[in-house]
Amino acid sequence: MEQYHKFCATNKISPRPLEVPLPNSDDVVSAHWIGDPDADAVVLYFHGGGYAQAGTEGYLRYWTRTVDDLNSGAKKIAVLQLAYSLAPEAPYPRQLREAAAVLAHLIASGRRSSDIILADDSAGGNRLLGLFSYVLHQHSGLNVLKIEGRLRGALLISPWVTFRQDHESFKRNYQTDLMAPRKLRRYAGIYLSPSADPEAYPGRVQGDAYQSL
């Protein structure tokens, strides 16, 4: 959140932080708004970083510019970026609980599911797909989260869908991939708990499992 407040001060933007109670805990989940919280539609964004790195200024610049461009029309949109807890201090399923809590908050605040877009990149894609699986199957021991109707959409940007590093593409693209297998192993090792359940492994999902969302 420090990066967010610094960015807002530099760009003369009024900060709009958000804290949501984490169910069955004394903790809160932190997030921050880019744009008007009362906008017609909201993008709930899960940033990347291997679950070990906080969101950077680049995300703030990108979404601020995107919101400004999109809001040149009649219908207004805002972004709510989750500042999730980081591993290894907060391993799985902490980030899933936080994502579910913020989505539940949006719905409880009167947002229609058809006005909510979920978006992500990299590890954030792992979180988004894990959240889909949780909503559909409710088997992570979390509070029940129900979505009435369908979401407006989901945007997955290079999502992290598997923790395996033995796929042929790792060898084929070794010289050009941004993330080396050894770094992915490290991130996976500090994030996954021994009891990690199916929501942590979206790459195993087959067919039209997410169709109803």
pLDDT 10s digits, 118-173:
999 999 999 999 898 888 776 656 667 888 889 999 999 999 988 887 888 888 98
Reported pTM: 0.89
- Both tokens assigned to 27: 């903790």
Residue 148 forms part of a structural domain:
yes
Residue 189 forms part of a structural domain:
yes
Residue 184 forms part of a structural domain:
yes
Q: With the C-alpha atoms ordered 188, 189, 190, 193, is the resulting torsion angle positive or negative?
A: positive
3-state secondary structure 16-49: CEEEEECCCCCCEEEEEEECCCCCCEEEEEECCC
* Number of structural domains in the chain: 1
pLDDT 10s digits, 175-198:
888 888 888 889 988 998 765 665
Give the range of the structural domain holding residue 52, as residue numbers without chain letter: 2-203
Residue 139 forms part of a structural domain:
yes
pLDDT 10s digits, 83-125:
999 999 999 889 999 999 999 999 999 999 999 999 999 999 9
User: Is the pLDDT at 64 greater than 80, yes or no?
Assistant: yes
Distance from C-alpha of 180 to C-alpha of 41, rounded to nearest angstrom: 37
Question: What pLDDT is attached to residue 197?
Answer: 65
Question: What pLDDT is attached to residue 26?
Answer: 94
Place of tokens 């591993």: 87
